[in-house]
Structure 1
Amino acid sequence: MNAQFTDNDGRLNWRRLGYTARSAFAVLLSLTVLIGGGWFVYSKANDAYIAWRTADDYLGEGTEDVQIVIPRGASITQIGEILREADVIKSTRTFRQVATRSGESDKLQAGRFNLKKQLPAESAFKMLLDPENVERLMVTFPEGTVSVRQWQILERPANAKIGLTYADMEAAAADPSIYQLPGYANGQLEGFLFPSTYQVGEPAVASHLIGTQVAQFNRVADKIKLEEGAQALGVTPRNIVTTASIIAAEVSNAKDQPMVARVIYNRINAGMPLQMDSTVHYAVQRWDTVTTTAEERANPSPYNTYVHKGYPPGPISNPGESALLAALNPAETDALFFVTVNLDTGETKFAATLEEHQANQAEFQQWCQANTGRCSG
């Protein structure tokens, strides 16, 4: 037993023990009051902080997913309003303060973003700057398609988010003079709407998309030196594009395209009509078959190369880079005819004589007979 709790004779001193116990209890009670009071104060202060924060901001990591479209030229305040109306953030003012303090508000861009509802303003701002959250709207225009068919592609379900219709594109194409077409386009869009995959800004504007395609044609034409190459061949730049448009519409395999280019030049130089079904399709505005009827081949349109010798008045599709290069770099051959004998593989056969060509045509007809409905409507 501790000496402070015993008398001189070694017996337990209950008075001293009781006094010490009361003192210890008093200290413990005081500590309990202090701790309890501190926790009470902390709890109240934390509640006040949470109330202050949530008055103008959300806490946490957000709730359900949501897509937001930020239009071109939107200010920080306008972006904040869009986010607030979609319940992504709680306060436009708080979002504006976060963006301004960050020093990165100039990095905010237009577009469609994958966000969450009920985010802290700072989290929403960071997500808008993260490229991983951008939902890019893309549209692909295949090589060799005419303008009308390019614009119809925009109405497919897969492109519904773009929001452009055939009518929108037709209206935007009504005045080609607003686009930076090369002089040899003669104010015509057909042939100069470069086929490629494009990212479409939001909200989508038809004239912007057409302008982007024309600009891409100009870039490619400069890269491959189209005008210089045309001069070297003794062909006008416009007829290079027209030749490329026929090539792109007739064959899909790039390896065959220089051969088709040479067939076109050989027939032109020999004074023969081109007799290309693709030009007849353009003349009658029908593309659901690969062949043409006798009635269609008699159509008087200047684009009908069965009726008229030489080049058609202009391009009959929108060629890509491979077809343009083929028109500038034709193969060396004396072939005057060609026919694609297998529509699945794209196998194309060339001939220098009518007899050879007729044999190739017979092979094509055999394929058509074995694949009912694939060759004619």
Structure 2
Amino acid sequence: MVTPHHSSDETVDALKPRTPPEVNGLDPFAELLSHAAAEVDTDSGTGPDAGSGDPAPQPTTRREARDAAARRAHQATLGWSHEEYPDRQKPVRAKKRRRWLTATVVIVVIIGLFGGGGAYVWFTFQPQVLKLLNLAEPNDCTGQGTGSVTISIKEGDIGSTIATTLYKAGVVKTSDAFYSLLLKTKPDPVFQPGVYSLKKQMSAKAALAALQNPKNKLERTVAIPEGTTEADILTSVAKATAIPIAELQAAAANPEAYGLPPEAKTLEGFLFPATYTFDPGVKAPDVIKTLVDRSFKALDQAGVTPPDRWKTVVLASVVQLEAGSNLTDFGKIARVFQNRLDRGMLLQSDATVAYGAGVKRVFTTDAERADASNAYNTYVHPGLPPAPIGNPGDVAIAAALHPTPGPWLYFVTTNLQTGQTTFSTTLDEHNAAVQKLHDWCNASAANDAYCK
């Protein structure tokens, strides 16, 4: 029943056109819905379906309507018993059917009361109407869900975007349930871009907890040590990401596509050594681009301009392979090579010879050092090798740019276990240091294993 703005006992003339009541104080729309729901309330036993016989007369005045509503409220407080009134027990299906009948009655009343605007009112306030009539379905699931599904969170995704993604994947029942939870959660949840393994039909709370759990993030991680060659890097990436090695090799075949200097014929030297994490399904070109871009970033941070990238990386790659793990020697080794280049001396690096010969050994043979067909043989060919011999890290790049001041022209590692290195300024001093290395290798079988 709609309560007018003023109180009156006048009889309502059903033949006269009704004018919409003003909204003031108690919402007449809500009262109308409450009245309609009460008329067909099958749970309380006070509606028309509650008993048999002639239907109760309808109120003709506002006062009678209010009295009828009061009587119904009083009856509800008495607590009807289904045992005492077995005819009040109705099948569940019939109850649901009558509830929807209630909704239909409400719609008809709204349209009749508000005319053409009734449809607008219904569609605008439909959730409130259904909730009032206890007809609205819950907008959230319960529990931890079942099955399995993967979803992706991209860089820049906001809460509403993530809520929609979860809804479309069947993780949550509605996007509103998840988004509403986000708005209530403090501090604000932070989501990491990536691919996540979730379940279907999860509650919003369970879905949020799952996205915050790092164990549910699907990742492919590969660690690349400093000095690793391109061939070994591609092999490691293939194992970690399940990308076929042939696809990686094909993606790496065109260095120019990734912005490498024109001198580069391969990606050697520009696949930065670091630990990388990739999403499942990542493509080979994307992996290559990630490693190359990381190399450019390191060079930029070190202050290397694009025109100087090539020479810097070539020298840094030699320093990286010769220095090994002793970080304090990087700058000194870079100084030895720079001093020799300045004097027009051969670099005489065993690391370059081994790379060109396709072997991985600390020492090279006399024949290998004499092989002029090896373009990387710096015992024969002057200057730097024609290309990088590995992929240098930050320390080697910094050493190539800023060698430690000193007069050294020679160096040799005299303890391969600790990395201890001796630097010399004369050939005699250097030969004496080389003898120390041989003595160390012959001191024990364990030492000799390092010298192979």
- 1:308-362 CA distance string (max 9 Å, x none): 1111112111111111110111112211111122222222211112222222222
Query: Structure 1, residues 139-197: CA drift from partner, whole Å, max 9, x if none?
Result: 221111111111222355xx3xx21343332111111122132x465454211111112
Matching residue's letter, 2:221: M
Q: Which residue of 1 aligns with 2:251?
A: 172
Structure 2 residue 196 is matched with structure 1 residue 150? no
> Any conservation in 2 of the 1:69–1:110 contact (CA below 8 Å)?
no
1:68 paired with 2:141, answer no
Amino acid at match of 1:172: A
Identity %: 33
1:225 alignment counterpart: 303
Aligned positions of 1:191-210 closer than 5 A: 191-210=269-288
Deviation at 1:126, TM superposition (A): 5.9
- Structure 2 residue aligned with 1:308: 381
Q: Determine which of 274, 289, 301 is the counterpart of 1:211.
A: 289
The equivalent of 1:141 in structure 2 is 224
Q: Secondary structure at the match of 1:368?
A: helix
Contact 2:272 2:393 in 1 (8 A): yes
- What corresponds to 2:125 in structure 1? none
Report which stretch shifted further, 274-283 or 147-156: 147-156
Alpha-carbon deviation of 1:44? 6.0
Structure 1 residue identity aligned to 2:413: T
For each residue in 1:12-57, what CA deviation from the matched residue of structure 2 results, as whole angstroms up to 9, or x when unmatched?
xxxxxxxxxxxxxxxxxx969359999x989969xx99xx77xx98
Question: TM-score when scaled to structure 2?
Answer: 0.59
* Mapped contact 1:298–1:307 kept (Cα < 8 A): yes
Q: What pairs up with 1:220-299 in 2 under 5 angstroms?
A: 220-227=298-305, 237-251=309-323, 252-287=325-360, 289-299=361-371
Measure, in 2, the Cα distance between the counterparts of 1:353 and 1:37: 115
For the residues of structure 2 that align with 1:43 and 1:373, how far apart are their CA atoms?
86
Tell me by how many angstroms 1:218 deviates: 1.7
Distance 1:33 1:81, change over 3 A: closer
Give the counterpart letter for 2:321 in structure 1: A
Matched pairs, number: 320
User: Which structure is larger by alpha-carbon Rg, 1 or 2?
Assistant: 2
Q: Which runs of 5+ in 2 are unaligned?
A: 1-77, 97-133, 184-189
Does the 8 A contact of 1:98 with 1:125 survive in 2? no
- Aligned pair 1:375/2:419, yes or no? no
Tell me by how many angstroms 1:301 deviates.
Answer: 1.9
Matches of 1:128 and 1:42 in 2, distance apart? 45
Q: Which residue of 2 aligns with 1:14?
A: none
- The answer to whether 1:119 aligns with 2:202 is yes
Residue 295 of structure 2 aligns to which amino acid in structure 1? F
* Residue aligned with 1:341, SS: strand
Aligned partner of residue 33 in structure 1, secondary structure: coil
Q: Give 3-state SS (helix, strand or coil) of 2:198's partner.
A: strand
Contact 1:95 1:125 in 2 (8 A): no
Q: Where does residue 431 of structure 2 map in the other structure?
A: 358
**Contact between 2:220 and 2:278, CA under 8 Å: does it hold in 1?**
yes
Question: For 2:181 and 2:409, how far apart are their aligned partners in 1?
Answer: 68
Residue 242 of structure 1: how far off its partner (Å): 1.1
Name the counterpart of 1:23.
Answer: none
Q: Label 1:78 to 1:365 Cα distance change in 2 as closer, same or farther (>3 A).
A: farther
C-alpha distance in 1 between matches for 2:404 and 2:90: 85
Q: Quick one: higher RCO (CA 8 Å, sep 6+), 1 or 2? A: 1
What is the RMSD of the two structures over their aligned residues, measured on CA atoms?
4.1
**Structure 1: runs of 5+ lacking an equivalent:** 1-29, 231-235
Per the alignment, do residues 111 and 330 of structure 1 end up closer, same or farther by CA in structure 2, a change over 3 Å counting? same
2:81 pairs with 1:33: yes
Displacement of 1:239:
2.1
Q: Which residue matches 1:163?
A: 242
State the alpha-carbon separation in 1 of the partners of residues 329 and 195 from structure 2.
Answer: 41
Q: TM-score, normalized by length of structure 1?
A: 0.70
Contact 2:226-2:391 at 8 Å conserved across structures: yes
Native 8 Å contact 2:255 2:265 kept in 1 = yes
Amino acid at match of 2:403: P
Name 1:5's counterpart in structure 2: none
